[in-house]
Amino acid sequence: MSSSITFQENTPYGPITLSVWDDKYAVQAPIVLEDATILKGLEEGSNGKFIYEAKMKFVNDAAGEAAKTTIVKFSSDCDGMRVMEREAKFYVDHLKATYGNGVPEFYGLYKGECIETDDDDTPTTVNCACLVLQRCGEPLGITNFRELENDRPFRQKLVKLFERLHIQLDIWHRDLYPVDVLNMDGEPFIIDFSDAETHTCELSVALEEGEVEPLSSLIPCPELSAFLRALETWWLPIATMWHGGLFVENDKVTSAAYIFKRISRKGVLKEEGLSDEDIWNEAVVAWKTIRSHWAKYHPGKKIRTLGITNYEEYLAQKDDRKNAPAKAG
């Protein structure tokens, strides 16, 4: 069975006839890919690979189903074709259960011949191949995962998707960056499994947003823990760092006074020229930040009152307690 792909005039290829690479990698052949428009050209380390968007129809589709919008990875480079075969194998062997649900649907791997020209405009017939996948959304347009802080619903879905790939499907992506995540109407999709492997991912803690960051031993998977750290705002940090490396443990904080009493005893702060009131003001800022975090990520949970934030009021209360008569008995 053969399939075909046509390119628009501004792309480097004309019509090409393709065959199924291997029956294992044919979802439903033959297909026709029309008006392939280049999205991404040759780059360093791309293994001669182009990325296109194209309309796809099954030749034997008697129902007249509308054309699907696909992404076509195309290469005439030997290394590039090997990489695509590896990715196709991974889709077929490990991702079938989640096609169209967090990862693209796989439409097949095909091979053929195309005409290329060298620097002297001499035409040469070379082998080529293409990997056809569902087009599943738009790029996030961010440079790091922390930028998802203001889109909590999407971020939560992305964490659950990544957790499902790791825990339920034992999949290790091995190359996850923001460019490997797409947004399709608010649903995250992870792409590019050319470097993926399987592994046993162990997890000893629920990945609940807003909880205090667990010990690394509870999330031993390096990719999963690195991804959550990259989000930065998923966990409440174990500690807030202070001058000279001093810190307070956030899950134990109950008031600004708690922080103040803990850090004001440290002589290092006095050596930096900070007064007790300076330290108090920093403690108030830290306590407000911790409360705000819990209010944001634990809606419905009872949060301790802000309490005293004025330094003079704190000192007065402290004196009142000191001068209070001892209880009888």
Residue 105: predicted pLDDT:
95
Tell me: the pLDDT tens digits for 106-146? 999 999 888 877 667 778 888 989 999 999 999 999 999 99
Question: pTM of the predicted model, to two decimals?
Answer: 0.82
User: Average pLDDT for residues 162-191, to the nearest whole number?
Assistant: 95
Residue 48: predicted pLDDT:
65
pLDDT of residue 324 exceeding 80: no
pLDDT of residue 42 exceeding 80: no
Residue 314: predicted pLDDT:
94
Tell which wins on pLDDT, 64 or 317: 317
Tell me: the pLDDT tens digits for 191-200? 999 999 999 9
pLDDT of residue 326 exceeding 70: no
Q: Which fold has domain 138-231?
A: Transferase(Phosphotransferase); domain 1 (1.10.510)
Indicate the pLDDT class of residue 300, thresholds 50, 70 and 90: confident
Indicate the pLDDT class of residue 44, thresholds 50, 70 and 90: very low
pLDDT of residue 265 exceeding 70: no
Residue 120: predicted pLDDT:
73
Residue 123: predicted pLDDT:
81
Domains in the chain: boundaries: 2-134, 138-231, 239-322
Indicate the pLDDT class of residue 45, thresholds 50, 70 and 90: very low
Tell me: the pLDDT tens digits for 212-252? 888 888 999 999 999 999 998 888 888 877 666 677 888 88
pLDDT of residue 63 exceeding 60: no
Q: Give dist(CA 258, CA 308) in Å, integer.
A: 11
pLDDT of residue 171 exceeding 70: yes
Indicate the pLDDT class of residue 320, thresholds 50, 70 and 90: confident
Per-residue HEC secondary structure of the chain comes to CEEEEEECCCCCCCCEEEEECCHHHCCCCCEEEEEEEEEECCCCCCCCEEEEEEEEEECCCCCCCCCEEEEEEEECCHHHHHHHHHHHHHHHHHCHHHECCCECCEEEEEEEEEEEECCCCCEEEEEEEEEEEECCCEECCCCCHHHHHHCHHHHHHHHHHHHHHHHHCCEECCCCCHHHEEEECCEEEECCCCCCEECCCCCCCCCCCCCECCCHHHCCCHHHHHHHHHHCCCCECCEEECHHHCEEEHHHCCCHHHHHHHHCCCHHHHHCCCCHHHHHHHHHHHHHHHHHHHHHHCCCCCCCCCCCCCHHHHHHHHHHHHHCCCCCC
Q: Give dist(CA 276, CA 63) in Å, integer.
A: 79
**What mean pLDDT value characterizes the chain?**
86
Structure tokens at 114: 């195309």
